[in-house]
Amino acid sequence: MTLSHERELRSATVPTGQRRTLSVEIRDEAPPRLTFIEKYSGEGTGWLGRFTSFRAEAALDADPEPLVQAVAALADAGKLDLPPMGARERVADLLAAAGLIVRRQSTIPWAHLGRRATLAVSPDGRSPSITFSQYAGDDGRFQVTTPYDGLDRIASHLATLSTVDGPAGDRLGRFIAAFEAFAAEDVGAERVHEMFVAAGVESHRREERRYVLLKVHRENTDCIFTLSLLVSSIDDKISFSEFYDYMPRSGDSGREYGYSAVTPYDSLAPLTALLESRLGVAPDGALPDRLAACLREFVTRGALGDGRPIEACRDQVALWYTEAGVPYRPDHWVWFNSD
């Protein structure tokens, strides 16, 4: 059984109103692990959320107490009273100077940009990134990402477009304030992509589109039967689904069943080419729209549709995946209303 011991080093209210707590956690493992935690709680202004935290973790090869004392000395001397993420970075540098491998982890709340977009900043992990997401209701979402190491360059570029100034010394806060000012005009993913390019950083566009191919109300069973298509370069998948939504009735509180045929996003071109060849069509337009048009045409021609056995439509699409030479996996989902 792994035991952990946490020691609070310092707790104070920051200028924006949140409570900042600095602590060290030691986990009794083999080898033991030390985690420094910079955590924010409570209400306040600005970008910091109630669950914002920054952590630095290292596996130790000796008694952790000297390192704990060294971190505590920094806190006692006020040398960790820094803008958000600053204390974590200073302790991470101390651990690295001791010859330890440091793993960083951050929890930063999304910035909501109006009602249809968000900004996510992820400084750590395998692919540190900045991600802008635009939501188009039931039709899908659009995303633009750039590596996190371009944050200062983007902030400098945004400073030329606006007079908004973020909190002094707060690198993340200044960036988010500048981005929020830029997005105040209800900009979309294409405008953000253009801004990233103008700032001289990498910009990667991805999207997710949803299509309802058929929706029928089966009155005899009070079931809504739906065929739909999801094409997502964000989640790297194409998913055709047949869905059954049984409404509550006397003695039956309702239930839902879903059956899907899933293939990677890279299957889009060969799958669309196969279906267009089968249908004898060669339309223009974006590939996701063309794939959806093919499946709708198969509904019109009767190859897909209502009144078939459960999973029959899913299985038919799976056969087309196989004919197109793309990988395929089945998926299913079940829910029972407990009310």
pLDDT digits (tens, 9 = 90+) for 250-260: 777 788 999 99
- Which percentage of the chain shows pLDDT scores above 90? 76
**How much is the pLDDT for 185?**
78
- Token representation of residue 37: 């935690």
**How much is the pLDDT for 138?**
76
Q: What sign for the dihedral angle of Cα 125, 130, 136, 137? A: positive
**How much is the pLDDT for 282?**
84
**Phi and psi of 67, rounded to 5°?**
-70, -40
Query: Closest by alpha carbon to 199, among 178, 168, 171, 172?
Result: 178
Residue 289 has pLDDT above 90, yes or no: yes
- Contact yes or no for 53/106 (Cβ under 8 A): yes
Query: Closest by alpha carbon to 236, among 329, 146, 147, 129?
Result: 329
**122-126, 227-231, 271-275: least confidently modelled range:** 122-126
Please give the average per-residue pLDDT across 96-125, as a whole number. 94
Question: 47-101 pLDDT, tens per residue?
Answer: 988 889 999 999 998 888 999 999 999 999 999 999 999 999 999 999 999 999 9
**Residue 44 CB-density burial (10 A; 0-12 exposed, 13-18 middle, 19+ buried):** middle
Please give the average per-residue pLDDT across 191-200, as a whole number. 96
pLDDT, averaged across the chain: 92
Q: How far is CA 251 from CA 221, 247, 254, 335, 336, in A?
A: 13, 11, 9, 16, 13
Q: What is the pTM of this model?
A: 0.84
Question: 7-46 pLDDT, tens per residue?
Answer: 999 999 998 899 999 999 998 877 889 999 999 999 998 8
Residue 2 has pLDDT above 60, yes or no: no
Other beta carbons within 10 Å of 272: 22
Which DSSP string corresponds to 167-228? -TT-HHHHHHHHHHHHHTT---HHHHHHHHHHHT---EEEEEEEEEEEEEEETTTTEEEEEE
Rounded to whole angstroms, how far apart are CA atoms 119 and 16?
20
Structure-derived torsion over alpha carbons of residues 234, 237, 243, 245, reported in degrees to the nearest 10: -30
**2-16, 107-121, 204-218, 222-236: least confidently modelled range:** 2-16
**Highest-confidence range of 216-225, 262-271, 283-292, by mean pLDDT?**
262-271
- Token representation of residue 65: 């107490």
Residue 3 has pLDDT above 80, yes or no: no
Residue 1 has pLDDT above 50, yes or no: no
